[in-house]
Amino acid sequence: MMHEGQWLGANAIRGSDSDSLLRWYDRARDFVAGSGSQAECLRAERLIQRIVKELEKRKVRLLTEPAAVESAPSAAHG
């Protein structure tokens, strides 16, 4: 999987739309969670860090836990 993401340098990340970055973020997290060599996992983690940094610049929030959406207080309730 990560051989596809190795081309994602700083310029490619800045030039990508937020939806694409979110897809790459999900794929890299799945890769780290699955089996892979330690070197590939480290590369994937660095890629995740670069993507997160770019998304933060764009003020895109990441919800890392699905339960966070369900437990978030609703504006309609209070």
Query: What is the per-residue pLDDT across 1-34, written as a single tens digit (0 to 9) for each?
Result: 445 455 567 778 888 999 999 999 999 898 888 8
Nearest-angstrom CA–CA distance, 44 and 9: 12
Token pair, residue 32, equals 């780290």
> What is the extent of the structural domain holding 67?
2-77
Q: What's the structural domain count of the chain?
A: 1
pLDDT in tens, 31-64: 888 867 888 888 889 999 999 999 999 999 887 6
CB 27 within 8 A of CB 1: yes
Amino acid letter, 58: R
